[in-house]
Amino acid sequence: MLGNFSYVNATKLYFGDDSLKYLNDELPKYGENVMLIYGGGSIKKNGIYDDVVSILKKNGKNIVEDGGVMPNPTVEKLRDGVAKAKENNVDLLLAVGGGSCCDYAKAVSVSVNCDEDPWDKYYIRFEEPTCEIVPVGCVLTMAGTGSEMNGGAVITNHDEKLKIGHVFGEEVMPKFSILNPKYTMSLPKRQMTAGIYDIFNHICEQYFSGDDDNTSDYLAEALMKSVIKSSLVAIDNPEDYEARSNIMWSATWALNTLISRGKSTDWMVHMLGQSAGAYTDATHGLTLAAVSLPYYKYILPYGLHKFKRFATEVWG
């Protein structure tokens, strides 16, 4: 394993079908004003919203609602969320949803106390936060992005036709994330499969780099095999808890920076996919699926030995 690196992950995870109860352990650590971030309202239909609100009220929190986070959060939504958080002196940003809600919460967290425009500072100049950061917690309802345990925050600017991710440091990572695999079971199959491809491609982006014998590659191969096996089960039976739990856990470890240690990584598929998404607003996992095969065909001659290993070790 070549190179020098450090590893830290600041996020505490609670996993399992009874994990939401641990929100009671986390909430007392933060002030009374909580901004509840969610998407299009599906959590109100499946009961998750009521369960979370009940716990927030039980802990004496003032709830500031920030719904309507879109699958590709926009810079306009970010600015609106920052204004709402400022106005209500928010102490905790609680994202209840998929990776888009988690990404959006992290983007808000570094912008509330920032005197500059967040798009210019973080997404054009790629500067790091120098202001106080509002803590983030996540209750995950979709597996795919790994945003629940990393510092990434992707924001789209339709006017400029740009979709850009900024991977912030450990200080921006969620302080805690709650992962209940049952929460993912109400997703439409199209969203589930898009999330599965996102997971798999996160691993590929790190795996297809470097030539040394690297422990991170062995971890990546195991994760890919797990995703393949569990996804085949879940596609046939979306209610299979074992499959959905393995997919959810693999998604987290696919992009919490662990398997990138000692790797140069690539991320070109994500750059191409995000470029397509900036113009089309298409689902992230679907854009990755669209561009990955031609890209890997293009680079295959330059890394044939790794693709042979991939075929043998992952696909058998």
* Mean pLDDT within 242-253: 98
pLDDT at 251 over 90: yes
Which domains, ranges and CATH numbers included, belong to the chain? 12-183 (3.40.50.1970), 189-313 (1.20.1090.10)
Query: Residue 83 corresponds to which amino acid?
Result: A
pLDDT at 190 over 90: yes
Two tokens, residue 166: 């900024």
Which are the contacts of 29, defined by CB distance < 8 A and separation ≥ 6?
175
Phi-psi group of 78: left, alpha or beta (phi > 0 → left; psi -120 to 50 → alpha; rest → beta):
alpha
* Whole-number Å distance between alpha carbons of 203 and 206: 5
Contact 151, 172 (CB under 8 A): yes
* Mean pLDDT within 153-171: 97
pLDDT at 2 over 90: no
The tens digit of pLDDT for each residue in 198-229 reads 999 999 999 999 989 999 999 999 999 999 99
pTM of the complete model: 0.96
Query: Residue 196 corresponds to which amino acid?
Result: I
Element (H, E) at 296: helix 284-299
Query: Residue 61 corresponds to which amino acid?
Result: K
pLDDT at 41 over 90: no
Confidence of residue 3 (pLDDT cuts 50, 70, 90): confident
